[in-house]
Structure formats: structure tokens, C-alpha cells
Amino acid sequence: MIIVTGATGFIGSCLISRLNQENFNAIIAVDDFSREEKQANLEGKRILERVDREEFFSWLDDNYHEIEFLFHIGARTDTTEFDRSIFEHLNVEYSKKIWQKCIDYQIPLVYASSAATYGLGELGYDDNESLIPQLKPLNPYGDSKNDFDKWVLEQERHPFFWAGLKFFNVYGPNEYHKSRMASVIYHAYCQIKVKGTMKLFRSHNPNFADGEQMRDFIYVKDVVDVCLFLMHHRRNSGIYNLGSGKARTFLDLANNTFVAMGVTPQIEFVDTPEDIRDKYQYYTQASMSKLRSIGYTQSFQSLEEGITDYVKNYLVPGKYL
């Protein structure tokens, strides 16, 4: 059996689809299954059992001997939520319990960290673990991910294999339920489809022109490919960046979305909302040398390739991965 927490979510459901492609069908899907708008993410997937996240640990105590691998993808990911107790429960304490169970039952573990841990990038975007205690995230979500990373590095006991993945700006199918937290590509498609135009945030940083803010966008299919590589690799435990390794502008993103939709680009700029303006990242780019150094050789899809696939094969026909 392979466990995937956050199974109804964006990355978790895409990971299950990828596992099914490789004929891993004894999937244990763990999540809060109460949100109706997320149920479509699991339709058609081969899943052995669904386990509510609050009942998961007692389930694991009864079934640990059948578990081959655990992907802990589930988390509260809302960067605009400022109730720290929510993140402490779901992102920190829950993850600590998973870590301990993986030690007790000798289960290899891959868990989701985040590039939100890097804050404004004052120390760059290098996944050197010695820098992690010095990072300054910009919101409680980023703090919770960094708090767990720091805790992991302080532990004397570990699962026999473990990896934390700092996801950068992931986009792709199965994010339909994420509303404000969905990728800019998803929002671009929706705006262009309805109005024929797209709004981008105006720059409030004199070092960046409007639309020239840069992020490391990574297609979700590349993310799940790395997850499977680590499941098979099971060596070189540690915390790794997971981005494309190439920063691109929001103008690149917008123009490629228009092209994929066959629409003439028409972009307008609006002020960045005040509640996120002082916490807005203007540049992110993952250093990917660490993952490459342990033998990951697959190339990452370019922004053009990823957007074209996402728009034409999923957004236009309304399909899920």
C-alpha cells in the first residue's frame, strides 16, 4: 500500500493519477473528504481505501505492516490565513506525528515543504540545509513549513529514508477548487475566457516593471515525476527544492496563456491587494543542483510547454489528471 495525504487536493490527486499510471493501485487516500468541490479530483482513480485525516493515525497503527511508502502532501496552504493555530495543528503537529510513525514502523517518507519558506529571498533560493534556521518566511503558512523543516533537521532519529520537497509555483490540472489560491495560469484562463483580457498585479517595487515580476513556475506533472523518482531512489535523505530552475515573468505567463487559447493578448495592470502587498515575492528561482546531484536527470517542461498542455488538454475540455 502507498499512502497519500491531501489526496483530494491539487498535487495529491495528481500524484495518485501518476501512481496509477505506474500500476500502483493499492492507494490509501487520506484527507478531509467533506469538501464536495474537491471530490472530482479522485473520480476514476484506483484507490483501495479512503481514510479521514483525523482517524488516520489509529488506522496506521492497525495497518502499518502493509505500507510501502508515505507521501505527506496534505497541508493548509492558504497564504492569506493568519490564524497560526490552524497551521500549527495541520502543518506542524500533524506532520510531527507522521514523522514519528514513519520511524516507529520503518516507512519511507516524502513530505511537502514550500518555497514560501524563503520569504523575500534575502538568503537566495539554495536548498542548503544549514541556511534553513535563518530563513524568514512572510506569512504563517511559510512559517509553519519552515518550522517543520527546522524541527526535522534537529531530530536525532529519522525514517530510514525521508525527503522534504520545497515546492515552488506549481500549476496544472486538478486545481479547480483552489479559488484565490489557484495558479495565475488558471486565473488567466478564466479571465480570458470570460472577458478576453487578463489582469496582472502592478509592480510596487522600483526594481521591477509592471508584469516583470518573476517566479519559478513548475508544472505539476514534473512535480509528481520527482515524487516517484524519490520513491524508487530511497537514498540521500534531505530537503530539496522542487522548481523548474528557471524564473519567468508574469508577462511570459500571460502571453503564453493567450497563445494557447488562440486569443490576441490584452493585459491590464491592477494594484496588488494591500493585504498581501508587503508580503509579495518579486523573484523566486529554485537552485536545482542538489536534486540533480543525487541522480535526477529528467528535464522539466518549459513554461510554454506546460501552459500549452494545461490549457489545451485540461482547461479547455474541463478534464482532470
- Whole-angstrom distance, CA of residue 124 vs CA of residue 86: 28
Count CA atoms closer than 13 A to 165's CA, side-chain side: 28
- Whole-angstrom distance, CA of residue 292 vs CA of residue 198: 36
- Whole-angstrom distance, CA of residue 286 vs CA of residue 117: 12
pTM above 0.85, yes or no: yes
- Whole-angstrom distance, CA of residue 270 vs CA of residue 250: 13
Residue-wise pLDDT for 144-186, tens only, equals 999 999 999 999 999 999 999 999 999 999 999 988 889 999 9
Please give the annotated binding residues for NADP(+), written as ranges: 10-11, 31-32, 38, 53, 73-77, 145, 170, 178
The fold for domain 2-172+218-245+283-300 equals: Rossmann fold (3.40.50)
State residue 127's pLDDT score: 97
- Whole-angstrom distance, CA of residue 226 vs CA of residue 236: 14
State residue 300's pLDDT score: 98
DSSP conformation letters of 266-311: -EEEEPPPHHHHTT--SB-----HHHHHTT--PPPPPHHHHHHHHI
Catalytic residue selected from 141, 171, 219, 314: 141
- Whole-angstrom distance, CA of residue 116 vs CA of residue 61: 33
State residue 89's pLDDT score: 79
CA distances to 144, 148, 169 from 314, in Å: 32, 34, 18
Task: Report residues of the chain scoring pLDDT below 50.
Answer: none
State residue 226's pLDDT score: 98
| Catalytic (active site) residue 319 | no
Catalytic residue selected from 136, 178, 246, 279: 178
Buried b (16+ CB within 10 A) or exposed e, 107-122: bbbbbbbbbbbbbeee
β-pairing, 217-219 with 27-31?
unpaired
Domain ranges of the chain: 2-172+218-245+283-300
- Sorted by sequence, the CB contacts under 8 Å of residue 137 that are 6+ apart come out as 116, 117, 118, 119, 143, 145, 146
- Whole-angstrom distance, CA of residue 8 vs CA of residue 172: 15
| Catalytic (active site) residue 189 | no
State residue 87's pLDDT score: 82
State residue 81's pLDDT score: 66
Q: Would you say 28 and 15 are in contact if contact means Cβ atoms under 8 Å apart?
A: no
State residue 79's pLDDT score: 65
